[in-house]
Every structure is written in structure tokens, then in C-alpha cells.
Amino acid sequence: MQTTDHINILDSAASLPSDAWIRFAPDEHPFLNADFLRILERHQAAGPACGWRAAHRLATDATGNAIGMVPTYHREHSHGDFVRDWSWAAAYEKLGKTYYPKLLSGLPHTPAAGPRLLVADGPSANAMKITLIDAIKASVAEQGYSSWHVALPAPDEVELLQSCGLLVSHDVQFQWRDAGYGDFAGYLAAFPSEKRRKIKAERRRVTENGLQLETRHGDEIDAAEWPALYQLYAATFDKYGNYAAISPACFAELAATLGRRMVLFIARQQGILVAISICFRSQNTLYGRYWGCSGTFNSLHFELCFYQGIAYCLDQGLTTFEPGAGGEHKVARGFIPTIVRSCHWIEDRRMRQLIGDFLERNRPAVQAYAAEAASHLPFKTFTTLETTP
């Protein structure tokens, strides 16, 4: 552990005080809590074996009490952080510069926006955040990093980070919002009849194929079930040549610890497990994360990854469903193109200017893409596109 002006650099999430998480982080959030990062790190899903090395920032006062913290990682590549900076690394290489290692403040393998500068509410909160920002920026130069990235921070944090000199990048996610639908039938009533029939037909195919669906929470899954569930999750990663970072034991501990904050939609055929969608939830949001399937089943992906989640939100009173990054096919199911932002401190002044110019040129294209996608939403009427500057 290193210390500079009461800003401590901790090499594990287990060293971040549990009481600080309770004071600083959103209540009942599935990712911003004392357990999520600790479990991922302990099972190496967010450990050196996967290119993540904890460098969490903890601010303490003169008596040693925690007054702020920023979950942060030393990164040797960009897999699993959703910063979208591959082209930047390539540009560095072409100019004979070194891009990695970099610093990342965010959630491993989790493209969910939320607070990143965690401090207690109060009149000094903003000043404490600026102290953390300045300290991390200084450490970039001191410790030989090319850059510091804050992945998908809360909107008010974006403005503060930008005022402190960080660049802002824009991306599009597709997110569902409850507009007072009541239940799934009420949701479909917002669609024109042709589009409504299409979704009903997709859902009907699932039952006609003899598939049985169930919804279970983390505390309802026995540890012995996770190896089979994991195989479905891992098969999807293998199919696309990616690495399945989360092990069966890691999933089992997440499920047992997070309990009802983990939600699984499961499909079986003649009692045999054939597909899963692994999600997490807060008090008002469902986060879709991992899909796995053992074969080809007509419309099952749409059912488990989208329709079951929407129905769950409506039943449980959740107002938002974020099914993960990418996926234009989500628009036809009523997921709204939503612009999200990340922030970047580039240490090299010339590269900061080049990347900043690129981001400014790219922003109108991202906004135009979101607007074009929104024009294909299936609702009878839709007047509000949720975007950010």
C-alpha cells in the first residue's frame, strides 16, 4: 500500500472498508457494494490472470477514517472495460509510444453506468471528488501510465471530470424504460398491431418448442448447479473466440452473497437445461449480463434476454432495464437508444489534443446514429429520445 496526502492505493477490494461502501455507494446496487469487486478479484475474474490489477484509491482524513474512494485498476489491455480505446492504443504504437499500462476506474466486465467517485454526501463532497481526481491525475505521470479512464460515470461526475480536464467520449446503449405500462400486455399495447403480433409470435414459438421457463434469484440457486449453468455461459464466449472470465465458483459466491440482486432466466427442454440469461438488479434497474445456450431454439434469445426481463421489471416495479452493450436488434423490441459517456485523462499533451479532436469529430456521428436508431422504435408514438450532451 502506498500513501500520498491521505490518498491510499489499495491492492484489493477486500481492503476497501465495508462501512465506506454503505456510506458512499447506492443502496442495494448489485455492483457498487463491498462484495462484487472482492469476489471477482478473489476468483481472478478481475485479477492479474485476466489483466486486472487492483489499484483502488481510498481517501482518509487525519484520523484514518475513509472519506472517499474510487474503484480503480491497472490494465495491460482493454478487454472487458468497455472504454472503446483500441484505436488509441494502435495510434500510440504507430507513433512509437506505449499505451499500456493504463489506469481504469470502473466495473470489470460490466458496462453499467453509475457513480465512480464515491464520497459521502455533504457540502464538502465536490471538493473531495476534485481532490481524488487531482491525485489520480498526478499518479498517472508519477507511475508511468499513459492515461486514466473513468468508464461510464454518473452524469454529474462527467461534468466534474470534464471541468478537471478529462476528455469525454460518447457511445450508445439500448435501454428499456417503463412508461407506466402496468404489465406485459400493457407494454405491447403501445406497439402498432403488426409489431405486436410479431412479438407475440416470437414468444409463442418458445412454448411451441416445448421449452419451460423459470425465474430464480441467486439465493435460490444451489452451488452444485453452477457448473452446468457455467457451461452454457462459457459456450457463448467460446463461440465468438472470447474468454469466459467468471468461473463456476465465482458465480456461486456471487449468487450466495448478492442473493436477490442476481436474477436468472432459465429455459429447459424436457427437464434438461438448455439456456440461461444471467442478470443483476438494483432497487430500480435490471442489468442483463450473460447469455448462454446449448443449441438453436427459435426466438429463445429474445425471450430470455429481453421479454422475460421486461416482464420481470413490470412485475417487480423496476423502471429501467439495461441489457448490456451493443445490439441494434434491441430497438425493434422497444429498447431506446441512449447515449452514455466515459471520461479520459491522457497524460501526453500532444496525444490528448489528437484524441480530443477525434472525440469532438465523432460526437455528432454518435448522436446521429442514436437519432436514426430511435426512428425505428416500434411504439405507436414516441417523442423523447434520452441523450446526453
Q: Are 58 and 1 in contact (CB under 8 A)?
A: no
Alpha-carbon span 254 to 30, nearest angstrom: 10
Global pTM value: 0.94
pLDDT of residue 383: 53
146 pLDDT above the threshold of 70: yes
Q: Are 148 and 345 in contact (CB under 8 A)?
A: yes
Q: What is the pLDDT of residues 101-132, one digit of tens each?
A: 999 999 999 999 999 999 999 999 999 999 99
Question: Taking the alpha carbons of 366, 320, 381, 191 in that order, is the dihedral positive or negative?
Answer: positive
2 pLDDT above the threshold of 60: no
With cell 478529462, the residue in question is 166
Kindly report which listed range (219-223, 243-247, 331-335) carries the lowest average pLDDT score.
243-247
Mean pLDDT in residue range 300-320: 97
Dihedrals phi, psi of 148, to nearest 5 degrees? -130, 130
387 pLDDT above the threshold of 50: no
β-sheet bridge partners, residue 340: 171
Please, which pLDDT band fits residue 240 given cuts at 50, 70 and 90? confident
With cell 442514436, the residue in question is 370
Mean pLDDT in residue range 352-359: 97
Q: What is the pLDDT of residues 170-200, one digit of tens each?
A: 999 999 999 999 999 999 999 999 999 999 9
Mean pLDDT in residue range 47-57: 95
Ordered domains of the chain (ranges, CATH): 2-171+340-374 (3.40.630.30), 179-318 (3.40.630.30)
Task: Locate 304 and state its grid cell.
Answer: 430470455
Stretch (H or E) spanning 276:
strand 272-281
Residue 279's alpha-carbon distances to 264, 302, 317, 373, in angstroms, are: 6, 14, 16, 25
Mean pLDDT in residue range 243-272: 96
Percent above pLDDT 90 for the chain: 89
